[in-house]
Amino acid sequence: MTPIVRPVTVPSFWNDTGKSGVAAWIFSTDHKRIGLLYLYSVLAFFLVGMTLGGLLRIELMAPGRTIVGPQTYNALFTVHGVVMIFLFIIPAFPGAFGNMVMPIQIGARDVAFPRLNLLSWWLYVLGATIIIVSLFTGDGPPDTGWTFYLPFSERTGTNVSLAVFGVFIVGFSSILTGINFVTTIHQLRAEGMSWGRLPLFVWSLYATAWVQILATPILGITLVLIIAERLLGTGLFDPGRGGDPLMYQHLFWIYSHPAVYIMILPAMGAITEIIPVFSRKPIFGYKMIAFSSIAIASAGSLVWGHHMFTSGMSDRAILIFSFLTFVVAIPSAIKVFNWVSTLYKGSISLEAPMLFALSFILLFSIGGLTGLILGAAATNIHVHDTHFVVGHFHYVMFGGAGFAFFGAMHYWLPKFYGRRYAEKPALAAWVLMFIGFNITYFSMMLLGVKGMPRRYYDYLPEFAPLNLVSTVGSWILISGVILLLINLFRGLWKGEPIGNNPWGGATLEWTIPSPPPTENFDADPVVTHGPYDFRKTGMP
Amino acid sequence: MAAEQNEQHIVSYGKLIAVWAVLLALTSLTVWISRLHLGVNRVWGSLAIASCKGGLVIAFFMHMRYEGRLLRWVLFVTLATLSIFIGVTFFDVLYR
Ligand code: HEM
Ligand SMILES: [Cu+2]
């Protein structure tokens, strides 16, 4: 077996158990190794999804057929959506950084159920494999969109059943992570780590974990019902047989809107760690940020109907869902105001993690505010199912969660490799990504306002100029991502060694060696100060 | 706590049979109610009876009556979430 080489030669979780073969990784119950397994898996799928997204943009570069026909285009956006949502952004934060960082931040040696943790990664791999198999077997890859709306997903001849089954399995992996994190945060906090001293990243994972536990089973049931419709012809959602297609949309969005919070809450948590450290100032409004995570998770579970304003839902329901959607904007805005207040009069240092954090605030705010345009029942009618929606959700999921993920990679990965990336290329990558991102997706929002629908491989000639702009933007964006990954991983394997606390953070992960030993702490830590009390870190 | 968890609570046959009899009686009640001309109230009536039956099954057959407070809470949160989801869906279904 090829041993996996490790970046730094001090004793650490890379080598201190004496086991470093492939088996010692894929069967490891160490939360740091499982976190890295998750990191590499979700990154691999991100690259797949990014390639598919690039192909979508190339097809839309000019009117008419550019590289693929309509059927292939339908498959491309479906697989792009499924991969990005279920295999990248939902598992990304809890699976990778939740696993790697959270136990250390609360002063624990591992999660509460290490073997369940390993099982959750294996279920993810199994589900992902089934999804991949579904693309190359049966009568072609699914062409339904990532939402699998019935009755179309029942009638299409493509391989929907198998793909849906794969997503079903991935759902279990998410539930297991949620159960594990709730238990860990309740049971394994170190002495002195009261709820009021929990790092806000942990608070955000806690809120996320409850959403994973309570909402994911509903996705599971919904997916099983799709398979039942296809294989048994139950007719639950098929109007031709007395079924109710709107009921499918309810079930799907009861999970899939809260799923947006599985993506964004831990991303916000990571941002909340980065901003005070790079402003050299305690976080402003600790309690309100912790509270707003819980508020977003609970209120956000009651807004799913805003995806159905044009579907023929009752007017009363439209009114209520529209109102509730506006309510969720309040805790989200609380967070934004608290981040900005933390920056105020801070000693701001613009290194890579901070740049991603600052751009997160802007891009997420654009995503959130355009969300209100969609959440208002009246304006929604005009932009529903247009490229405005595509622009909006990329601002939230990519400009928000995605940028936070890249920021978190620059912030935390040096801790786990003991080495760091070069700063200048990281800045260049950020500039490319930020510019490319806005060109790509702002153009899409403009196109949507002009009326260009989503999920079509072709469009009217008047939409051509902005589509070309958007496609060129996607090239800038993608080159930024590639530069970022090359620079980051080169640095992690070969870069300058770092000390225990390169950024001057005050949370527990910065008190132990980089990379950490398998047991994390020599002696059980006793926590005596809050997570943003920088007086004790000995940094300028 | 640990000792409490390992302890198996044995429910006597008599009690189980009694619960079963009550369940059967409630089932007949459901059938009876469905024959009455009560309009919308019939649905609420059936739902109420079904909830009682579910409660009995959970309390006795699933031993929730003998479990610690934490498990009861977990069950409560789950059921509450489910009923909220179903309840909010009714804003659409009832007024469409
Ligand atoms: C590399 C950058 C990316 C590019 C160039 C890209 C491009 C696109 C385009 C052009 C569409 C619209 C297809 C259409 O409606 O006709 C789309 C849809 C979508 N994208 Fe992306 N995207 C990228 C990254 C992401 C990321 C990071 C995520 C999520 C984290 C994501 C999630 C989605 C979803 C969920 C859809 C909807 C699929 C559907 O309609 O079923 N994308 N993307
Ligand atoms: Cu939503």
Q: Provide the 10 A C-beta neighbour count for residue A377.
A: 18
The answer to whether residue A24 is domain-embedded is: no
Among A111-115, A211-215, B75-79, the minimum mean pLDDT is found in B75-79
> What's the pTM?
0.91
Query: What is the share, in percent, of chain B residues with pLDDT greater than 70?
Result: 92
**Residue A462 domain flag:** yes
User: Is residue B41 classed exposed, middle or buried when 0-12, 13-18 and 19+ CB atoms within 10 A define those classes?
Assistant: exposed
Q: Which of A79, A84, A437 to mutate to test the pocket of ligand 1 (most atoms within 8 A of CB)?
A: A84
Name the domain count of chain A.
1
pLDDT single digits (tens) B11-20: 788 889 999 9
Residues with CB under 6 A from ligand 1: A 50, 53-54, 56-57, 77-78, 80-81, 84-85, 88-89, 145-146, 390, 394, 397-398, 402, 454-455, 474, 477-478
> Which of A214, A246, A301 lies closest to B92 in CB terms?
A246
Q: List the single best residue of B77, B88, B90, B94 to mutate versus A (max A Cβ within 10 A).
A: B88
Centre of ligand 1 from the C-alpha of residue A387, in Å: 11
Confidence (pLDDT) at A166: 96
What is the structure's pLDDT at A208? Answer: 96
Q: What is the mean pLDDT of chain A?
A: 93
Ligand 1: residue of A55, A262, A394 to mutate (most ligand atoms within 8 A of CB) is A394
The average pLDDT across A435-460 equals 96
Evaluate whether residue A18 is within a structural domain. Answer: no
CA within 13 Å, CB half, A73: 17
Q: Do A214 and B81 touch (CB under 8 A)?
A: yes
Nearest alpha carbon to residue A203 among A104, A275, A106: A106
Return the ligand number nearest the Cα of A60. Answer: 1
Instruction: For residues A168 and A224, give the distance between their C-alpha atoms in angstroms, rounded to a whole number.
Output: 8
pLDDT digits (tens, 9 = 90+) for A228-246: 999 998 888 988 888 899 9
Strand stretches in A295-411, DSSP E: none
B77, B81, B92 ranked by CB distance to A305: nearest: B92
In a domain, A10, yes or no: no
Name residue, tokens 């529209």: A322
Question: Is residue A13, in this structure, part of any structural domain at all?
Answer: no
Atom 43 in ligand 1: residue holding the nearest Cα: A53
Per-residue pLDDT reduced to its tens digit, A459-470? 999 999 999 999
Bridge partners for A324 per DSSP: none
Cβ–Cβ under 8 Å, residues A124 and A38: yes
Q: Is A11 helix (H, G, I), strand (E, B) or coil?
A: coil
The CATH number of residue A287's host domain is 1.20.210.10
Write down the pLDDT at residue B4: 47
Asked if A319 and A377 count as a contact pair (C-beta separation under 8 A), the reply is: yes
State the Rg of chain B over Cα.
Answer: 17
Average pLDDT over residues A316-343: 94
Residue A398 within a domain = yes
Q: Please write the tens of the pLDDT for every residue from A236-275.
A: 898 888 889 999 999 999 999 999 999 999 999 999 999 9
> How many CB pairs below 8 A link A and B?
38
A445: left (phi over 0), alpha (psi -120 to 50) or beta: alpha
Give the angle subtended at the CA of A488 by the CAs of A485 and A489, to the nearest 5°.
Answer: 85
- Identify the residue among A186, A250, A303, A324 best suited for mutation to test binding to B, counting B beta carbons within 10 A and taking the highest: A250
Nearest ligand to the CA of A452 is 1
Best of A77, A85, A360, A477 for a ligand 1 pocket test (most atoms within 8 Å of beta carbon): A77
Displacement of CA A345 from its chain's centroid (Å): 31
State what percent of residues in chain A have pLDDT above 90.
88
Find the closest chain B residue to A211 by CA distance.
B81
Structural domain harbouring A414: 30-537
CA distance A335 to A18: 44
Other CB atoms within 10 A of residue A57 CB: 22
The residue-averaged pLDDT of A103-126 equals: 96
Q: In the predicted model, what is the mean pLDDT of residues A401-424?
A: 96
Determine, yes or no, domain membership for A20.
no
3-state secondary structure of A460: coil
> Which residue, B30, B70, B36, is CA-closest to B54?
B30
Cα distance between the two ends of chain B: 50
pLDDT of A145-196, one tens digit each? 999 998 899 888 889 999 999 999 999 999 999 999 999 999 999 999 999 9
pLDDT classification of B7: cutoffs 50, 70, 90? low
Question: Does B94 contact A320 at a Cβ distance shorter than 8 Å?
Answer: no
Q: Residue of the nearest CA to atom 6 in ligand 1?
A: A53
Neighbours of ion ligand 2 (CB under 5 A): A 257
| Half-sphere exposure for A138 (CA within 13 Å, toward CB) | 18
On whether residue A294 sits in a domain, the answer given is yes
Cis-peptide into A525, omega within 30 deg? no
A219 and B CB contact within 8 Å: no
Q: What angle do CA B28, B31, B34 make, to 5 degrees?
A: 150
Atom of ligand 1 nearest to the CA of A481: 1
Closest C-alpha to A94, from A227, A261, A230: A261
Distance A306 CA to ligand 2 centre (A): 6
Question: Can you tell me the ipTM of this complex?
Answer: 0.79
> Could you give the count of Cα atoms lying within 13 Å of A304 in the half-sphere of its Cβ?
28
Predicted confidence band of residue A539 (pLDDT cuts 50, 70, 90): low
Asked if pLDDT for residue B5 goes beyond 60, the answer is no
What is the per-residue pLDDT for B1?
Answer: 39
Contacts of B89 (CB under 8 A, 6+ apart): A250, A254
A207 touches chain B (CB under 8 A): no
